[in-house]
Structures are given as structure tokens and as C-alpha cells.
Chain A
């Protein structure tokens, strides 16, 4: 059986059914509902505060909508390009919104036509309830005005609200049912369901006709609690009703917000929920200091001593980026890619290197006839020098940091700790090393005997402080320590060497979910 058939049968069976209304029932419902009493508490604050004005704090509007937002442009793009991109984006958004609204209006019109058709069909079945509604009656319930101006169903709602004043019980129930859902449920095509509920309400209203006055007429689980007469005081009654009306109004607002899928351009900086923090990008660079531990495998003491005196640490660096995924307000996970370079000086002496200097000598030479001739001679002077060669050794690595972080603080300043692992992808070396005969030997990517090309996993721990510098960007500093779990040398090397690195990462964190 279809809904329409059910409605038809029910309507036919019950159209002549009537029940006596308990005395005083309508007064209890009608008067308080239309003329809601003033809450003394609200009235007090209204009187005290209605004329009060407060100055707007400086920068409030900037925080609500920062000036930068108006001229925000894509980073690194020229201003003109940014403006063009912004214009295209605005055109796209405007076009999308316009198209959406346009098509929604078309749908509303179609639905209104369908509802009108259905209403006519229902009226033709002879309930007569809608016919009792008369326009032009006073609408004293301000909340009903929420529906004013709404398309389609809103007009219907106004009519039915007026029907309440008409004091017709069944008509009232019917019209309130229709007024509440506004156009939303029309969109969903549930008009038939409304009819079903309407009938149900009628039953509920009339069924307890033999009950004592003041008894609950509706099931407390029913969504239309605002119709429930109560033995409680008016003051207790009103909030319940208000709540129901507000809930309806909020629902209507939400349902009518066709642009709900379009992000709100008004951004409150203090509202973390509006600022999407799902993904961040950290770009950083760090000066590093390396700490080396060296021990002998088969190397002689002389070798170790010579190696120790030949090598000295220099400032290295790490640079890279990390994608940050906040798990919640406190915990986050980071992963990225970074390039690290440990720098070291290797100094060795080469004796009796030849250094050449071009010199000009001038001589006065007496010839056989007594004439003095000045002779200049440009020649090369060779000098034997001790050459102290300083080679900049470089230990390069490409790594993937995978870190877990915990942070706390406010939106402007956050303090956190990060820990995790750094997985090495590739390592290479360039410079000069001592060989087993204490002779300097060059090593490079193709000739790095004794050194690994992958040093495995290292542990990472850092302490970060970040300061927000604009809506989407924070600057952060993070002193950290990286401890490599394995040597950079192979087991076949005559010595074992391992690096630990301490550094100070300085960088920027960008929120990737820009509005």
C-alpha cells in the first residue's frame, strides 16, 4: 500500500470523526504560546545593556579578517601573477556559486509546483483543514518570522501559522506541522510523510479526549514537544518551546544554506576549528655540529693518532622539508626528506712543494768598452715550501625523517618535542682520507672503499618552539640531536667511525589547507 492510498483510506475513515476538546485546553496552549512572557532575567539585562556601546579593540577586524588576506597571493609568485590567479579563482567561485543558486532555484520552483499539486490533491480529498486557514491574522510569534522570505514552503508556513489564531484545533496541528519543516523536507520529497505525521498528530490530540485536563497529549519522544501542554509553570514551558523552535530555525538555516559546501571567507583567527590544521609543511635548514667516535679495528696506534690530528670538525648543515599531520591538538606526526652534510677539515703536510714566483731583476752590467748597460730580466723564482693542505671532507646523506611530536601552547606560540627515526636513503663521501700507509688518499663517490653507502637508521630528538607570524605561517626553531645507530665505515675498514649530529633547525611551517 502506498502512502497516498493509506492517506486516502484514513482520510475517508476519519473525516467525520470528532472528539470533544477538554475545557480550557486551548487557553493553556494558545495564550502562552503566542504571547510569550518576558523572562525577568532577560528583561533585566536588556534594560541594562540595550544602550551600552563598547569600543572595538585595535586590530580586532584585522584578526577577524586580516589585511593580508585581501592581498594574499601565492607565495613566490609575482604580484601581477597572484592578482591574475586570484581573479581567476574569484571568477571560478562566483560562477560556481551562481550556477549552484540558479539550479537550486529551479529545483525549488519544481518542488513548489509538485507540492502545490499534492496539496490540491489532498484538499480535494475533503479534509477541509487547510481551508480554515485565513490570511491576514496577526502573527504574534516572532520565531515564526524566521520563515518569512523563505521560498516556497515559507509562504505555506505563514498561512498555517495564522491558522493557529483561528483556534481550529485540527487546523492548527496541521498547519504547524507544515510550518516547521519549511522547504527542507520538500526538497527531500517527503511531503507524503508529512501527511502521515499530520494524521498521527490528529490522533494523538484527539485520542485522550476522555482523559483528565492537563494530561500529556503527546508522546514525550515525539519531536513536537512544543505542543505538549504541561502542568509546569509558563516559565518552565517557554524554554522548552523555544528550544524546539530554535532547533527548527537552526535546521532551517542550515538547510537553506546552499553554500554550505563553499568555505566561509570570514575567518576568525581564534577559532581553531575554522582554520584547517590537517596538513602542514615544514621547510627548514640547520647548522650542524658533528660528534665523531672513532675506534680501531686493525689500525695502528700511529694511524689513529695521525688521523685524529689530521681531522677537525666544521659546521655542517641539514636542509629539507617535512609534512606534518596533526593527530589532535597535541600530537602530530612528521615525515619528509632532508639532505645532511657533515663537514670536516683534513689537513696534511706536503714537504718541499715548489712554489713559483715571477720576478724581475735589474742589473747594471759593464761592457768591454766600459759602457754600463741596465739589463732587466723577468724570470721565475722557485721556492721550496711546506704545503699544508686542508681538504674539506664532506659526508653527505639523504634521509627520511619520521617523527612523532607533542606540542602545547596557544595559537601564537607553541612548544613541543619531537622524536623518531631518521632513515638513511643514501650516503656518499668526498675528500681525502689516510690510508693504512698514512698517505692521504682521495675518496669520492666512485672510490669510497671502507665507507658505507647507506648508514641505516638514526634516532632523532628535538625540542621545538614555534611562533605564528601570519595566518598560515609559523616560524620555528628546533634544537635537535641525531644519533646514528651504525658506523659509516664497513666492517672491513681498519677503523670504525660513527657520527652523531647536533643542530638547530630553523624554518617555516606552512598550513597547507588555505581558505
Chain B
């Protein structure tokens, strides 16, 4: 009987302990199927609603806008270092009709490596690397209607390089768009030498502070993407550069660039669907560069950069993007 008593008491104690000693909290998880973070699927063709397009909208440089009377022509000053000089009657409608009155000019200037990344523009001529001295996107419109240059008419872009003194042998390149520019990443975009093979002139003028200013002068016969650049030549061997990111970062929400340290060369790493990686082909070895990834997943931005002194023969690097604010990302890019 005493044993029974002990068993009963033991049962009571166990029951009390079992009832009272439970975790204060338990969690159940269900996957949020509508969250962008859970979309880890790569795509062969970027859809229009891909997150990278939204990323472009978030970080791309905002165009500067000026206007002038098309009949009289004008020199437009965009900030302190870029002037656009238009002759009278420079623009006609897309159908070739003459345009009178005020014409709006939008200018997007890409004078730094950070600007180029923000605009998701590379300095390449197909697979060949270019050293850029600056790039511009010029757009003319009147009453919301896009205009084009009058036949045989050119305009002049004068600008100073904030980073470097003017370099020689720069040529005029025009951008060949794949159809999406400038509203997003254009994997088919490349720079082509101007049809006339004109070169970029250097100029020197008196600055506002009293000193002389040296810069470039581009005479362009085309609107939209115009660049001063020259082809880069490297003696060392080349390798493919491959960037591997975690599964959350796909070609729909991430762009990756390689930025050369010694010059304004920005190379996009295109998405490789088969390997779920970002790749750039035939980059020179023994070059210091920085690999930068920018992502937008949902409302969050992610950023990562990796400095490498030499991509070596393997050229495979792992990036670990971290969540950043858009301001932080822009500051990082401006410091490149």
C-alpha cells in the first residue's frame, strides 16, 4: 500500500511538472508565396517586371533637363562641367517635320564609374573592353513628342572629366540599344564607333574660378547614347570572371559589374542560366578590379563589393550581398 501511495504521489508530481513546464512560446512557419524573397528562380529572358528594372529606376541617375528655342539654337549648361551646343533648327520630328519653338533637352551624364553602374551601362564593344572618358544620354522632345536631329546636323558636347585629365585617342562611340534602354538593363547594349569614326577633341578653356579647364569635346550626329572611349589592350592573359551569389539572388533581381581600378572600365557580368551565376568573358588577368552586386528583392536593397587584385586563371568569386539602404548603395557607388 505504501508503494501505491508513492506511485500516486509520483504521478501527481509528474503531472504537475508536465503541465507547468512547457515552452512559453512555439512557432509555426508557412512559406509566404507572394514574397519576392522566396523567388529563387532564374529566367532565360528578363521579364519587364523583373526586379532589376525596378532597381534601375531606384539608382539610375536622374536626367538633367534644359530647353531652348529650336529656331535660334543655344548652348545649354548642365551643371558646371557639361555644355551642349545646338545649332538653330537642330531638331525635327520623327517624321521629319520642322520643329519650332521650345525644345526640351534631357541629359544623363555618366562621368564616373559609379554613374555608369547606376545607369547599368558598361564600357564594352561587344566583348572588347573600352576605357571610357564619359558617356551621355541625350534626348530631345517637344510637347512630349520625341525629336531627332535634323539630317546633317550635329551638336557639340563639351565637358570636363572630374577624375582625370583628358586622355588622348578617344573616339566617339554611340550606344547600340537592345530595345529596353534606358528603362532597364539591356543585355544587348554595346558601344559602337560612330559611323564617321570621328575622334574626341580635347579642349582647354578658362574656368569660372580663374584657372583653365581641360576637357573633351564630342561632336555627335546622333542623340541618345554618346560616349568618348577608347579600346583597352592588356598584355596579360584573360579569364572568365564568375560571380556566385546565394540562391536568393537571381538574374531577375541582381546586377553584377566588374569595375577596373585603373581606368573607367565597367564590365557587366551577365547572367548564366545554366550555372545560376554571373559571368563576364575574357577579362584581363593581373588587373585590380572590384566586383559589385546590387540587388533589389521586394522593397529591400542588397549590395556587396569584392576587391580583387587579379582574377587569376580561375576567376570564380563568391559574393554575399547584404541588405543596404538605397542611400548607402548610392554613396558606395559614388566612391568608386
- Known A75-B2, A368-B315: A388·B275 in contact at CB below 8 Å: no
- Known A383-B38, A388-B27, A390-B25: A317·B8 in contact at CB below 8 Å: no
Alpha-carbon gap, A445 to B201, bound state (A): 79
Residue B316 is within 8 A (CB to CB) of chain A in the complex: yes
Alpha-carbon gap, A390 to B24, bound state (A): 8
CB distance from A266 to the nearest CB of B (A): 19
Instruction: Find out whether the CB atom of B26 lies under 8 angstroms from the CB atom of A390.
Output: yes
Residues of A within 8 A of B27 (CB): 387-390
Identify A377's interface contact among B8, B35, B314, B318, CB under 8 A: B318
Instruction: Find out whether the CB atom of A343 lies under 8 angstroms from the CB atom of B19.
Output: yes
Instruction: Find out whether the CB atom of B248 lies under 8 angstroms from the CB atom of A68.
Output: no
Interchain residue pairs A-B with the least CB separation, the first 10: A384-B35, A470-B1, A379-B246, A285-B12, A384-B37, A317-B19, A385-B29, A388-B28, A384-B32, A368-B240
8 A–B pairs (Cβ distance < 8 Å), ordered by A: A341-B20, A355-B29, A368-B239, A384-B32, A389-B26, A392-B23, A473-B2, A506-B12
- Known A385-B31, A385-B32: A364·B275 in contact at CB below 8 Å: yes
Residues of A within 8 A of B244 (CB): 361, 363, 375, 377
Instruction: Find out whether the CB atom of B247 lies under 8 angstroms from the CB atom of A379.
Output: yes
Instruction: Find out whether the CB atom of A469 lies under 8 angstroms from the CB atom of B5.
Output: yes
Instruction: Find out whether the CB atom of B238 lies under 8 angstroms from the CB atom of A368.
Output: yes
Residue A337 is within 8 A (CB to CB) of chain B in the complex: no
Instruction: Find out whether the CB atom of A380 lies under 8 angstroms from the CB atom of B15.
Output: no
Instruction: Find out whether the CB atom of A381 lies under 8 angstroms from the CB atom of B316.
Output: no
Identify A365's interface contact among B4, B5, B242, B245, CB under 8 A: B242
- Known A368-B240, A373-B316: A507·B2 in contact at CB below 8 Å: no
Residue B98 is within 8 A (CB to CB) of chain A in the complex: no
Alpha-carbon gap, A228 to B9, bound state (A): 65
Residue A434 is within 8 A (CB to CB) of chain B in the complex: no
- Closest chain B residue, CB of each to CB of A507: B12
Instruction: Find out whether the CB atom of B242 lies under 8 angstroms from the CB atom of A384.
Output: no
- Closest chain A residue, CB of each to CB of B239: A368
Residue A431 is within 8 A (CB to CB) of chain B in the complex: yes
Residues of A whose CB lies within 8 Å of any CB of B are 68, 72, 75, 283-285, 287, 315-317, 319, 341, 343, 351-355, 359, 361, 363-369, 373, 375, 377, 379-392, 430-431, 469-470, 473, 475, 506-508
- Known A392-B23, A470-B1: A287·B15 in contact at CB below 8 Å: yes
Query: At the interface, is chain A mostly helix, strand, loop or mixed?
Result: strand
Identify B9's interface contact among A287, A382, A392, A508, CB under 8 A: A508
- Closest chain A residue, CB of each to CB of B279: A365
B 65-86 binary contact with A (CB < 8 Å = 1; else 0):
0000000000000000000000
Residue B281 is within 8 A (CB to CB) of chain A in the complex: yes
17 extra interface residue pairs, beta carbon distance < 8 Å, beyond A315-B19, A469-B5: A75-B2, A361-B244, A361-B276, A363-B244, A363-B276, A364-B275, A367-B240, A375-B244, A377-B246, A379-B320, A382-B248, A384-B298, A388-B29, A388-B30, A389-B26, A392-B26, A470-B2
Alpha-carbon gap, A368 to B280, bound state (A): 10
Within 8 A of A (CB), among B264-283: 275-277, 281-282
Instruction: Find out whether the CB atom of B275 lies under 8 angstroms from the CB atom of A363.
Output: yes
Residue B16 is within 8 A (CB to CB) of chain A in the complex: yes
Instruction: Find out whether the CB atom of A373 lies under 8 angstroms from the CB atom of B314.
Output: yes
- Known A319-B16, A361-B276: A380·B246 in contact at CB below 8 Å: yes
Instruction: Find out whether the CB atom of A283 lies under 8 angstroms from the CB atom of B23.
Output: no
Residue B40 is within 8 A (CB to CB) of chain A in the complex: yes
Identify A383's interface contact among B9, B37, B238, B298, CB under 8 A: B37
- Closest chain B residue, CB of each to CB of A67: B1
Residues of A within 8 A of B314 (CB): 367, 373
Instruction: Find out whether the CB atom of A365 lies under 8 angstroms from the CB atom of B316.
Output: yes
Residues of A within 8 A of B276 (CB): 361, 363
CB distance from B51 to the nearest CB of A (A): 14
Identify A284's interface contact among B4, B12, B28, B315, CB under 8 A: B12
Residue B44 is within 8 A (CB to CB) of chain A in the complex: no
Instruction: Find out whether the CB atom of B2 lies under 8 angstroms from the CB atom of A68.
Output: yes
Residues of A within 8 A of B205 (CB): none
Residues of A within 8 A of B240 (CB): 366-368
Report which residue of B4, B247, B313, B320 has the largest number of chain A beta carbons within 10 angstroms of its beta carbon: B247
Instruction: Find out whether the CB atom of A431 lies under 8 angstroms from the CB atom of B316.
Output: no
Report which residue of A72, A385, A387 has the largest number of chain B beta carbons within 10 angstroms of its beta carbon: A385
CB distance from A408 to the nearest CB of B (A): 23
- Known A368-B239, A389-B27, A392-B25: A283·B315 in contact at CB below 8 Å: no
- Known A381-B40, A386-B29, A473-B5: A392·B316 in contact at CB below 8 Å: no
Residues of B within 8 A of A387 (CB): 27-29
Alpha-carbon gap, A377 to B23, bound state (A): 36
Alpha-carbon gap, A470 to B140, bound state (A): 105
Residues of A within 8 A of B247 (CB): 359, 361, 379, 381
Instruction: Find out whether the CB atom of A508 lies under 8 angstroms from the CB atom of B8.
Output: yes
- Known A317-B19, A363-B275, A368-B282: A508·B316 in contact at CB below 8 Å: no
Identify A475's interface contact among B8, B31, B313, B316, CB under 8 A: B8
- Closest chain A residue, CB of each to CB of B241: A368
Instruction: Find out whether the CB atom of A317 lies under 8 angstroms from the CB atom of B15.
Output: yes
Residues of B within 8 A of A355 (CB): 29
